[in-house]
Structure 1
């Protein structure tokens, strides 16, 4: 389990395909503290550490993960938001984040507010995901608060600290971002709507 509070960056050094799997080698100041088989969120995607070195490590993504997240657009040199699992005695500074991306959204606009930035995000609402005004959303692993919520769209405000210490400063209009919707909202929606008929 994660909280959406980004710890550090990882920089992608190498991308290697092996069958339908993709290996990502990343450099990070966290590398020396990581252990094999440890879960680590990368832009909100929970991946397992499979190899470690003092200054770098490797994770592997399966085809299903590649298809349902923005990992297919990752390239060497990209900075990725990193968060280790929350320890049992940790403090909840964000919200409950599973590291399971629900779907990909698209950055529709970025407006400079003279001290902060407003990002407008759009997503396919036919998947049944919704946001709640002033509710929680995870974008690329970052815990944020939604506003201007509507079908298939919402906005978030990014303060300078978050802009600098996450990869929001890399995002451009048209970029795809990983979205994990609030787990409490997802459970309520499932209870109310049930399972769709196949």
Structure 2
């Protein structure tokens, strides 16, 4: 019997990027049904990149790299953190993920990973809708890219509803941030915090399957 697990995340969260290898392994496991739930934590945040925020982010990124082995390149440091007119806003990425979930759901995790790598490895500012469109078109997702370029009211509303659902789930379980996993078991729902996502996959599976 497969266990349903909901992944709470934001595509701009560095710690979520750090968790991506483990999340990818869970998605491939025969006993796990993984559902993605973007929370919109950094969507519409209003945060602008400046020298102070960039320094904080880079220090945090080095901790993530040390713990997980994920790459944060000099291109990212120079072209994203070093660009002090950019917006730290996951709105376009979150909207793109919702559009993918509706049209090609089996590719949503692939798109999330591509957007994370575009930022942290390729040094592209994925806070920009134009950059998000470019990544989608490179993946052959022309229809989704068009939706991100000119999102209609219906897509915006469905996206907002999706984020609200994820936030309600977070509140109901006392989650303080992302990433996190919600395990849906016979006895109800329980939260596994982010620390569970940076270690051994088999150990995580044992935590998930303990009910």
Q: Same fold (TM over 0.5)?
A: no
Determine which structure has the larger helix proportion and give its number: 2
Looking at secondary structure, tell me which structure has more strand per residue.
Answer: 1
Normalised-by-shorter TM-score class: under 0.3
Which structure ranks higher in relative contact order (CA pairs < 8 Å, sequence separation ≥ 6)?
2
Q: TM-score, normalised by structure 2?
A: 0.26
Q: Taking structure 1 as the reference length, what is the TM-score of the superposition?
A: 0.27
